[in-house]
Structure 1
Amino acid sequence: MSTDPDRWRALWRAASCALVVLGSLSSSTVPTGLYPVYVDSIGLGEAAQSAVFAMYIAGIVPVLLLSMRGRLPVSTGTLAGAAGASIAGAVVMLSAGSPETLFAGRALQGVGVALASIAGVGAVISLGRRLTLPAVAVIGGLMPSIGAAIGPVLGDYLGRSAWSPPMRPSGACRSS
């Protein structure tokens, strides 16, 4: 492989974009394993659970509509927004003490996933083509699936574990 500094910079950018996509999708699917904890600690009913899931879509759709109109560039700023919204959504979800905070957290996660999908996957595939490395584009395409698979496993672990994350949902103390 070439030692051209521009090529290495492009590879680094592709890897960074892929990690944002992986992290965004992972963090957005972690709550799946935590819903039993939310049910126990907040008293979240079936209708409220469905509403929380719907808030995710409410976060995704406006971003995708803006993207279709060409108003969201594939840029570092968009990726930073994706990472920020995903992190903020995860923090809100992990510290949720009411259905309203769950709604807000899920909407933020939806925004993060939409931004990551648009900017992250697009940038990785574009950089892979420019570098003439098809594997980079394949990795960019796999990151959403890998991230979506990691999240529920991590969430289930957090929900069942005796280990308590720093921001466990309010009132969700476990007794042995």
Structure 2
Amino acid sequence: MFGDPGARAAWFERLLHNALVSTMVGEHRTFEPLGSGTLTMLAGKRGVTVGAAAHLDAPPAPERLREAGYRLATLTNSAGLRNFFEQALSADDVKRLKPPSEKLGVTTGDLWLVAAHPWAVTGAANAGCRTAFVGRAGKVLGPAAPKPDVTGQTLKDVAEGILAVEALG
């Protein structure tokens, strides 16, 4: 992003900061204005324009899981991947950072959360979800984090890992 490998992390940190502050003071702000506003701010500081795209390895992974019979829902805008998901659940709908499992009509223990954010995997594991961590460059789990059920370097690796775990029963 912006030709600077650290810019995406800076944007995400500032976005989380803004989301948590608005939640803590009881004035929920939807993701779109928070995310785009934060991105516009960073872009303005660098004198550039912005756009969003999925990682190149991403499209085959949800397609593979969907073909295997999994129901898929996304908790983000999933840049360029929306057509793979049955539902797009939004924190904006429930006015908290992660929507509840009942929005999908399943129990928490039946859910897999797949993320490249260590805190999301930790939160999901502590809530009772099965978890998969995408260990992209610069993404590492903290020392106190619960061990994910599946770990891979790419989303495709993680999708194959989920299928292998499920095949074992």
> Is the TM-score greater than 0.5?
no
**TM-score (norm. length: structure 1):** 0.26
Could you say which structure has the greater relative contact order, defined with CA pairs below 8 angstroms and 6 or more residues apart? 1
- Larger strand proportion, structure 1 or 2? 2
- Larger helix proportion, structure 1 or 2? 1
**TM-score (norm. length: structure 2):** 0.27
